[in-house]
Amino acid sequence: MKTSYLKNFVLLLVVFCSLCLLTSCDKSSDVSPTEEEEEEEEIVEQVKPLAQLPEIRKTRLSKGLNLAHWFAQQENGDLSKNYIQSRFQDNDFEFIKNSGFTYVRLSVDERILFIDPNLLKTEYLQVLDGYIQKFIDAEIAVLFDFHPTESFKENVHATAATASNVKIFWGKLAAHLSKFDADYLYLEVMNEPSAVLAKDWNDVQKLWVAEIRKNAPAHTIVVDGNLRITKDNWDGIAALTSIEPFADKNIVYNLHLYEPFAFTHQGATWGWEVAQYTTGLEYPMNEANCLEIKSKHSSKIEVGWAMDDYIKQAWNKDRLKAYIQPIADWSAKHNVYITVNEFGAYYYAENEGKLAYLRDMREIMEEKKLGWAVWEYDAGFSIVEKAGGTISFKSGMKSALGL
């Protein structure tokens, strides 16, 4: 009888131990190893937040280049590692290293890393880590840009649960990225938020920033202004300046500038419908040119309105300077650093006008002590040309960008 009880006890003990072993092994391959997580936590605990934004980081955020269609906005939605690892070749990295840019903006959408709030896709994370380190080794700083798809952003703005999940996700991600040199890697909260009200986004962003800071104490955080101030007022400058400056001084404030949109997006088949009819629009403004486009598309009333407004605004360097001045004023008032990490013009503007526009924008931003990043390297808004394995700046581009 005692022998039977003993056998049953031993059997139960074996089963219990086996279940425990299976449970401990049944981890998703996408979960970071426990030892690595513990090491990241130890690193975070040892690092203290900075009292101010280091000057070296302002310098490194001064002249940037966007690398599009890589970890975000993939061609044909291709998320394969093969696509990501073949998007750029050794000569691309060599060109960027010697180009004069001080940083690259590396955009990453949620499908690359996000499984659920507590899980990161380590398969892609390892690839991403390798490229971040590759740039740092070349003394090119990296701005990690969380660049989600439009549908994902809509959910962020629509549901508190999604916003809360992203906060948790950012905490996990920030802890992982905190291992990189904080003087070379910066963390951008979310590309082009477009909540109905700027205030709604500002409130969400505060929560995310707190979570990022908790997990990456020394890294500079780049916060984003909403694309609009209210439902029908798409004024990005007003939206940025509606942000209550953070007490945290190791923060950079950011917005995108593409005005005048009729010029920078001429020929574009997405977004504002009018833009596809403004091909040939010149910069600086030439009234005869505007009237010619208006006449050519006389059946399109909105095109006529856009051309009338372009004439009224008289877009030239002085007009751009007046347009940008409120940003500089807000920066000086609150003693904060601001970047414009997207500006550029679509390939239909590929003429002297594009060069003049980029030069004027770049000179104004540098005069106002704003950092900048041109959109973008080698796609529709490209600044380079490739032929026979050779990469070079398009004619006049290097001078226009002051490199």
Confidence at residue 39, expressed as pLDDT on a 0 to 100 scale: 54
Tell me if 21 is assigned to some domain: no
Instruction: Tell whether 269 and 136 lie within a shared domain.
Output: no
One-letter identity of residue 15: V
Instruction: Tell whether 151 and 283 lie within a shared domain.
Output: no
Confidence at residue 54, expressed as pLDDT on a 0 to 100 scale: 98
Q: Give residue-wise pLDDT tens across range 175-206.
A: 999 999 999 999 999 999 999 999 999 999 99
**What mean pLDDT do residues 201-216 have?**
98
**What mean pLDDT do residues 144-164 have?**
96
For β-strands 337-343 and 371-374, DSSP reports them as parallel
Residue of 362, 363, 326 whose CA lies nearest to 343: 362
pTM of the model: 0.89
- Name the DSSP class of 381: T
Instruction: Tell whether 112 and 202 lie within a shared domain.
Output: yes
pLDDT at residue 84 tops 70: yes
Tell me if 385 is assigned to some domain: yes
pLDDT at residue 23 tops 50: no
339: phi then psi, degrees, rounded to nearest 5: -120, 150
pLDDT at residue 30 tops 80: no
With cut-offs at 50, 70 and 90, classify the pLDDT of residue 250.
Answer: very high
Q: Give residue-wise pLDDT tens across range 341-384.
A: 999 999 999 888 999 999 999 999 999 999 999 999 999 999 99
Contact in structure between 142 and 103 (CB atoms under 8 Å): yes
Tell me if 393 is assigned to some domain: yes
Query: What is the maximal distance between C-alpha atoms in the chain?
Result: 107
Tell me if 93 is assigned to some domain: yes
Residue of 259, 238, 202 whose CA lies nearest to 329: 238
Instruction: Tell whether 255 and 268 lie within a shared domain.
Output: no
Query: DSSP string spanning 163-220?
Result: HHHHHHHHHHHHHHHTTS-TTTEEEE--SS---SSHHHHHHHHHHHHHHHHHH-TTSP
Mean residue pLDDT across the chain: 90
Residue of 247, 253, 248, 278 whose CA lies nearest to 265: 278
Tokens 């991403």 correspond to 128
Confidence at residue 119, expressed as pLDDT on a 0 to 100 scale: 85
**What mean pLDDT do residues 146-167 have?**
95
Q: Give residue-wise pLDDT tens across range 33-60.
A: 445 555 555 555 678 899 999 999 999 9
pLDDT at residue 226 tops 60: yes
Confidence at residue 308, expressed as pLDDT on a 0 to 100 scale: 98
Tell me if 14 is assigned to some domain: no
Instruction: Tell whether 269 and 172 lie within a shared domain.
Output: no
**What mean pLDDT do residues 98-115 have?**
95
pLDDT at residue 301 tops 80: yes
Instruction: Tell whether 284 and 339 lie within a shared domain.
Output: no
Three-state helix/strand/coil letters over 310-358: HHHHCCCHHHHHHHHHHHHHHHHHHCCEEEEEEECCCHHHCCHHHHHHH
- Name the DSSP class of 230: B
Residue of 334, 326, 313, 299 whose CA lies nearest to 261: 313
Instruction: Tell whether 67 and 106 lie within a shared domain.
Output: yes
Tell me if 337 is assigned to some domain: yes
Which of 247, 282, 314 terminates a domain? The answer is 314
Confidence at residue 46, expressed as pLDDT on a 0 to 100 scale: 74
CATH code at 230?
Answer: 3.20.20.80
pLDDT at residue 160 tops 90: yes
Domain of residue 298: give its range: 264-314
Tell me if 377 is assigned to some domain: yes
Instruction: Tell whether 138 and 270 lie within a shared domain.
Output: no
Residue of 221, 216, 238, 218 whose CA lies nearest to 229: 238
Which of 281, 314, 347 terminates a domain? The answer is 314
Instruction: Tell whether 85 and 225 lie within a shared domain.
Output: yes
- Looking at the structure of the chain, the number of domains it has is 2
Tell me if 16 is assigned to some domain: no
Instruction: Tell whether 305 and 327 lie within a shared domain.
Output: no
Instruction: Tell whether 63 and 153 lie within a shared domain.
Output: yes
Instruction: Tell whether 183 and 283 lie within a shared domain.
Output: no
CA dist., res. 138 & res. 116, Å (int):
33
**What mean pLDDT do residues 74-79 have?**
87
Report residue 51 as tokens.
């009292």
CA dist., res. 67 & res. 69, Å (int):
7
Cα angle for residues 333, 339, 340 (degrees, 5° grid)? 120
By percentage, how much of the chain surpasses pLDDT 70?
89
Contact in structure between 398 and 358 (CB atoms under 8 Å): no
With cut-offs at 50, 70 and 90, classify the pLDDT of residue 340.
Answer: very high
Confidence at residue 117, expressed as pLDDT on a 0 to 100 scale: 81
pLDDT at residue 29 tops 80: no
Which of 283, 299, 314 terminates a domain? The answer is 314
